[in-house]
Structure 1
Amino acid sequence: MELLQLRYFVAAAREENVTRAAQKLHIAQPALSQSIARLEEEMGVRLFDRIGKRIRLNAAGRELLRTVEPILASLAAMPEKLQAIADEEAEIISLNVLAASHLITDLIISYRTTHPKTNFKMSRNVDSLDWDFRISSYPGGGEAKLSGRQGGRNKAEPQVGNDETKLLEEEIFLAVSIKLKYADRTEIELEEVSDEPFLTFPQNMPYHELCNRIWTETGISPRVGLESDNPQSLKELLSAGMGVAFWPQFSWGSPETEHVKLLHIARPKVSRAVTVTKNVKRRFTGSMEEFYQYMLEYFNAIAASEKRI
């Protein structure tokens, strides 16, 4: 039995006329008749009743038609399905990373071990619209009255209609050099370090807004020692004893070395939520949804660990 025979059989069954079926198939009528005869011989039963110039399916023919039609329909759709799979394997997932860049980098490395054909494009532009997922943050449920999302001209608020999900909530610590007198402590109040140089992100970065809100709520004007958009640079500056900095529990990895220590902020308690937003204006493919579910599980595992990374 050949696939072509089955296609010819379905055409004849629909037309109930061999001549018309042959015309639709663009083949000679004798060729179609011979194909049907061979199929009936292979099946061992007649499939049509002949009524003059017309043919009509008998019980055996109707059963074969019910079986064959969905198979042929599935095969006809297969090239498009296979092409979609190939496209998804080679596609690029765009990430707009405004928070937790350290974790997102580790996430991509982990994901690529099992999905080597998936590529990623990362940006850190708060004004960008070219993204599939946006990773952002806003003040969490700590004691500080940091109501609302991050303010400022370039605030990274999810657009109306986009699908936002909280990935985790993390405590904000104060990172200090062991050279400072506070290094033997486990917690500290911000008033105690108000005269220390403060290391922070530039003003156009969302984390800068969070830092400003913390200081505003405590009524302290910090002495900014240096601004950098790179957590690794802040870690090196902290190690050199050039100031203190707010440090999120998970997002940037641990700065703790023999030169740096993290202290709980006793008052006010501060946290932030890290979120992922789907861009609803994009067509989401199966591989995008698979990556999204992987991301949720990845961050759930981090949050469940309750440890600083």
Structure 2
Amino acid sequence: MHLEDLHWFVTLAEIEHVTEAAAELGVSQPALSRALARFEEEAGAPLFDRVNRRLRLNAYGRIMLEHARRCITEMTAATERIAALRDPDSGRVRLAFLHSLANWLVPEQLRRFRRTAPGIGFDLFQGPAYEITERVLGGGSDLAVTSPRPDPARFGWRRLYVERLCLAVPPDHRLAARTRVSLSAAAGESFIALESPIGLRQLTDSLFADAGIAPDIVFEATEIPTMEGLVAAGFGVAVVPVPRTKGDAKVAHVPLSDPAAKREVGLVWDAGRELPPPAERFARFLTAG
């Protein structure tokens, strides 16, 4: 199987329509159909079920898709590593990171790194922790900045920093003037939380359990700014990281006194895969302090 055939198969598997996939690839429909026939012949099994002029990836096809993506990733990584060895100041880093780090940590570190290695480019992905770890294991990203720490048997990890968590409340809330507060003091409040299985939601659920709280969660958001906007509107309170800069005056941030009210943020990579040289260089830069 040629690498081009793998690319064609992956595109067809994602679109599940020959005409649309051919248009996406910029090839003729007959050429794509012939390539699929060759691919299935080499695989020794049909990879799609034909249903009402559309294709549906079957069990054989799902297995092939998993390995095809992995093969493409490995071949791309090999090409990038060769290029990086020939020119250590070139290449690309595929970096994933949390939404909550998009407005300060990642841009600042990229700015600093690019001063030292302007020839290295970046392919960026922003998302929740569970998508980030899946992407790293699938080869879509070399490195990720995330929290909480994922399975140590599968991921390498370097802690970057630890941030405290706080209770976000409206400025006129009964707890707003406190310098510190335990989460148990908010028992009975309505809560705005992130969706499960987002990493901060996992941490928040553990804090609720430790505090003996059965929270009344009135809304599940996908990003922290949405949570704080609803807090400001009086819909409830929320557990969020302590802001690194002066926050919105419409929300008061009261640090939590609970010992476990902290979030560890670190750099992760697939423990079973060697990092390409540009990614290794960026990892050393980040963890050097």
Q: TM-score, normalised by structure 2?
A: 0.59
1:176 to 169, 172, 194: 169
Residues of 1 paired with 2:274 and 2:159: CA distance?
22
Superposition deviation, residue 90 in structure 1: 5.1
1:224 to 217, 224, 228: 217
Q: Secondary structure at the match of 1:182?
A: coil
Superposition deviation, residue 220 in structure 1: 0.4
2:91: which partner in 1? Answer: 91
Q: Secondary structure at the match of 2:248?
A: coil
**Is the 1:175–1:260 contact (alpha carbons within 8 Å) kept by the matching residues of 2?**
yes
**Is the 2:99–2:223 contact (alpha carbons within 8 Å) kept by the matching residues of 1?**
no
**Is the 1:189–1:267 contact (alpha carbons within 8 Å) kept by the matching residues of 2?**
yes
Residues 127, 84 of structure 1: CA spacing in aligned structure 2 closer, same or farther, 3 A cutoff?
closer
Task: Please state if 1:278 is matched with 2:269.
Answer: yes
Which stretch has the larger CA shift, 96-105 or 284-293?
96-105
Unaligned runs of 5+ in 1: 1-80, 139-148, 150-155, 301-309
Task: Please state if 1:157 is matched with 2:157.
Answer: no
2:247: which partner in 1? Answer: 256
Residues 244, 88 of structure 1: CA spacing in aligned structure 2 closer, same or farther, 3 A cutoff?
farther
**Is the 2:163–2:263 contact (alpha carbons within 8 Å) kept by the matching residues of 1?**
yes
Task: Please state if 1:127 is matched with 2:138.
Answer: no
1:243-268 deviations in Å (ceiling 9; x for gaps): 21112236xx4472221121122345
Superposition deviation, residue 171 in structure 1: 1.4
Q: TM-score, normalised by structure 1?
A: 0.56
Task: Please state if 1:295 is matched with 2:286.
Answer: yes
Amino acid at match of 2:257: A
Residues 181, 248 of structure 1: CA spacing in aligned structure 2 closer, same or farther, 3 A cutoff?
same
2:9: which partner in 1? Answer: none
1:235: which partner in 2? Answer: 228
Q: Secondary structure at the match of 1:289?
A: helix
**Is the 1:90–1:119 contact (alpha carbons within 8 Å) kept by the matching residues of 2?**
no
1:30-179 equivalence runs, <5 A = 83-84=83-84, 89=89, 91-98=91-98, 101-102=101-102, 103-117=105-119, 118-124=121-127, 125=131, 126-128=133-135, 129=137, 130=139, 131-138=141-148, 156-160=150-154, 162-179=155-172
1:259-301 deviations in Å (ceiling 9; x for gaps): 112112234552222121232444434322221122224xx4x
CA RMSD, Structure 1 to Structure 2 (Å)? 2.9
Residues 260, 123 of structure 1: CA spacing in aligned structure 2 closer, same or farther, 3 A cutoff?
closer
Residues of 2 paired with 1:200 and 1:222: CA distance?
10
Superposition deviation, residue 213 in structure 1: 0.5
2:190: which partner in 1? Answer: 197
Q: Secondary structure at the match of 1:188?
A: coil
Residues of 2 paired with 1:230 and 1:196: CA distance?
20
Residues of 1 paired with 2:85 and 2:282: CA distance?
15
Superposition deviation, residue 211 in structure 1: 0.6
Superposition deviation, residue 178 in structure 1: 0.2
Residues 218, 289 of structure 1: CA spacing in aligned structure 2 closer, same or farther, 3 A cutoff?
same
Superposition deviation, residue 82 in structure 1: 9.8
Superposition deviation, residue 209 in structure 1: 0.9
**Of the two, which has the highest radius of gyration?**
1
Aligned-pair identity (%): 22
Superposition deviation, residue 212 in structure 1: 0.4
Q: Secondary structure at the match of 2:247?
A: coil
1:53-74 deviations in Å (ceiling 9; x for gaps): xxxxxxxxxxxxxxxxxxxxxx
Q: Secondary structure at the match of 1:275?
A: strand
Superposition deviation, residue 123 in structure 1: 4.5
Residues 240, 263 of structure 1: CA spacing in aligned structure 2 closer, same or farther, 3 A cutoff?
same
Amino acid at match of 1:134: A
1:198-224 deviations in Å (ceiling 9; x for gaps): 111101212111110000111101111
